[in-house]
Amino acid sequence: MKLARPRTRAGLAVAATLPLVAGALALGVPTAQADSSNRQVLTNTKPLWATPRADHGTAAGSTSVNARVYLAGKDAQGLAAYAQAVSDPSSPSYGKYLTPKQVQDRFGATKQQIAEVTAWLKSSGLTVTGSNQHYIAVSGDKAAVEKAFNTELRNYSKDGHLYHAPAQAASVPASLHGAVLTITGLDNAPKQSQHDELPPPEAVARQAGPFSTYYGSNVAKNLPKAYGGSAPYVVKGYTGKQLRAAYGAKGYTGKGVTVAITDAFASPYIAKDASEYAKRNGDAAYKAGQFTQVLPSAYNNIDSCKAAGWYGEETLDVEAVHAVAPGANIVYVGAASCNDPDLMDSLNKVVDNRLADIVSNSWSDVEANETPDVAAAYDQIFQQGAVEGIGFYFSSGDNGDELANTGTKQIDTPANSAWVTAVGGTSLAVGKGDKYQWETGWGTTKATLSADGKNWSSLPGDYLYGAGGGTSKLVAQPFYQRGVVPDALSKQNGAPAQRVVPDIAAVADPTTGFLVGQSQTFPDKSVRYSEYRIGGTSLAAPVISAIQALAQQARGGVPIGFANPAIYDRFGTSAYHDVTDHPLGQGQSLADVRVDFKNGFDAKGGYNVSLRTLGHDSSLNATIGYDNVTGVGSPGANYVLSYRPRH
């Protein structure tokens, strides 16, 4: 299988995602059109980076391709329309979900369509290597690919490397009557070695302290003042009890709701670690069958995807969901690698078997790296989930506007999809007695302590990281953002209005982050359980997913499904904390002190002391009303309660 650009983990102060194009693709409809040769052109199959300027000539005749031909089904436009209607509180069809079988019967590909597409592919000289209700996998040489899809394969430069890609958008015979949604794999990425044995955990990471037990409980009076006073030491790490109180959990636990988590690979220690963490931190013990896993038969691209790094992501997601929604069932659906085909297979498992009501996803890429063919395939999954009453939640990213990271202001994907809930991030202050104090948009600058210990260098310091957000260059404004997102944001790239990210937000700042427990590799090579504080929007995504589980329970167990229409319907109400960068007043900066081991493990190498200033997210700003750091805001005291049925 052709390897898509690897997705990365969106937490641990990192991030990742995918794009959408305007017009038909923004609704997930295959952008096919007839041409004069009696073929249908799939306009979303040529990568945006395959430009004449990057052209390096025709690909070699020996070029081989592994591709997936995704099936549009019987009624792609009907699927998109019903996905919108069933998710819109103002629609008569709101909440009238279908079962996976009903989705397949009403919208899925027929046996005849699959047979006709298969026969055409074989007649073109391609080899069919596998198929299911979603796609037909094929392989072939350059000549067979060009014959089948009526496009030339040429070499193009991208990021200093040469890749082959179609010179024109691929097309399929019009006689297939729109049975093909899109084709992925016509452009290539370097192939990686294959493995099936997972590595041990990554090296242990520990934070030095001193810490605060709640925000502001331990003030660094022995260190230089900043912004007119002494800053507090960072919290050791919030627990579920503190997060539940801050976000209005009330007495709800998520009982009767199932949350799925998708990541790449699977930690061999997850069940033991999750149980130990719950026992140590006051969370309810897992009941029999409450946590389950659905894993692939084998893994691949272990080295290139840095498999061990995904263990911490899975651990964070599982422990955060259980801490905030201790009564919810959790199913972890691991992908065979961090590449798009394998991640899509995991998402399809959730949808095809309706494994969950809510799906938390803490992985992404930048929008510029996404190709529209892959975006169309993802959107079909999200629409099928919406029709079944399944909501997908994606981290918005951890690099702010991505300018410092990529050289271009852009958002992350799949959070840019019009069919998912993009989760942004905040810095959260939970005070004494678990009282919510305030939040800022997550955006952190770092100033270091001078050698003589008398001052902080260059306040506020250099930009470090922050919640992803901004305006899509590819995805049209979805209906639910109209009238809420200001034109200054939606038309930031010019007319027409485009999708803006995020939709909602929760705690993400690593200095106000979550305490997590994980088996890690210690310097003596032993693997032992250890706890540390963590953040990133890969914390915010499972926290919001867990809160949605509480809301679904409050709703009487009725699935919320694709939540964005309902989320925006509550905009401007007491359901949200309207998060700004200056919650204590304009000009009043907030900061905390962080002490780290230089070697990341113990005091032998000494310490690094820094002041982290909050509310400075690259060019993004958390303002009154909707903004591109926190969306509509974070869940307030009445958010969960707002889903209770009105009598």
- pLDDT, tens digit, 9 for 90 and up, residues 85-129: 999 999 999 999 999 999 999 999 999 999 999 999 999 999 999
Which pLDDT band, with edges at 50, 70 and 90, does 200 fall under?
confident
Q: Strands across the sheet with 171-173, in order?
A: 32-34, 39-42, 171-173
pLDDT at 159: 80
pLDDT at 22: 29
Angle between helices 309-324 and 270-280 (to 10 degrees): 40
Phi, psi at 641, each rounded to 5° = -65, -25
Phi, psi at 272, each rounded to 5° = -65, -45
Percentage of residues in the chain having pLDDT higher than 70: 93
Render 445-466 in DSSP notation, one character per residue.
EEEEBPTTSS-BSSTT-EEEEE
Contacts with 52 (C-beta within 8 Å, 6 or more apart), sequence order: none
Render 244-306 in DSSP notation, one character per residue.
HHHTT-TT---TT-EEEEEEES--TTHHHHHHHHHHHTTPPPPPTTSEEEE--S----TTTTT
What is the number of alpha carbons within 13 Å of residue 34 lying toward its C-beta? 8
- pLDDT, tens digit, 9 for 90 and up, residues 124-180: 999 999 999 999 999 999 999 999 999 999 999 988 889 999 999 999 999 999 999
As a whole number, the mean pLDDT across the chain is 92
Which pLDDT band, with edges at 50, 70 and 90, does 8 fall under?
confident
Whether the per-residue pLDDT at 36 is higher than 80: the answer is no
Which pLDDT band, with edges at 50, 70 and 90, does 31 fall under?
very low
d(CA 481, CA 489): 11
pLDDT at 191: 35
* Section 338-345 average pLDDT: 95
Q: Which of 196-210, 501-515, 591-605 is least confident? A: 196-210
Whether the per-residue pLDDT at 427 is higher than 60: the answer is yes
The full set of domain ranges for the chain reads 8-184, 240-643
d(CA 395, CA 444): 17
- Of the CATH numbers 3.40.50.300, 3.40.50.200, 3.40.50.1860, 2.30.30.90, which one belongs to the domain with range 240-643? 3.40.50.200
Residue from 562, 465, 544, 572 nearest 510 by CA: 465
d(CA 45, CA 322): 40
Whether the per-residue pLDDT at 261 is higher than 60: the answer is yes
pLDDT at 502: 98
- pLDDT, tens digit, 9 for 90 and up, residues 613-644: 999 999 999 999 999 999 999 999 999 999 99
pLDDT at 423: 98
What is the SS3 assignment for 355? Answer: coil
Percentage of residues in the chain having pLDDT higher than 90: 87
Whether the per-residue pLDDT at 12 is higher than 90: the answer is no
Whether the per-residue pLDDT at 322 is higher than 70: the answer is yes
Can you point out the beta strands (E) in 16-152?
32-34, 39-42, 55-58, 64-71, 127-131, 135-141
d(CA 543, CA 550): 11
Q: Which of 188-192, 230-234, 365-369, 464-468 is least confident? A: 188-192
pLDDT at 154: 96
pLDDT at 197: 57
pLDDT at 33: 52
Whether the per-residue pLDDT at 17 is higher than 70: the answer is no
pLDDT at 371: 86
3-class secondary structure for 562-627?
A: CCHHHHHHCCCCCCEECCCCCCCCCCCCCEEEEEEECCCCCHHHCEEEEEEECCCECCECCCCCCE
pLDDT at 308: 94
For residues 397 and 412, the answer to whether their CB atoms sit within 8 Å is yes
**Cis before 502 (ω within 30):** yes
pLDDT at 260: 98
Phi, psi at 123, each rounded to 5° = -65, -20
- pLDDT, tens digit, 9 for 90 and up, residues 246-255: 999 999 999 9
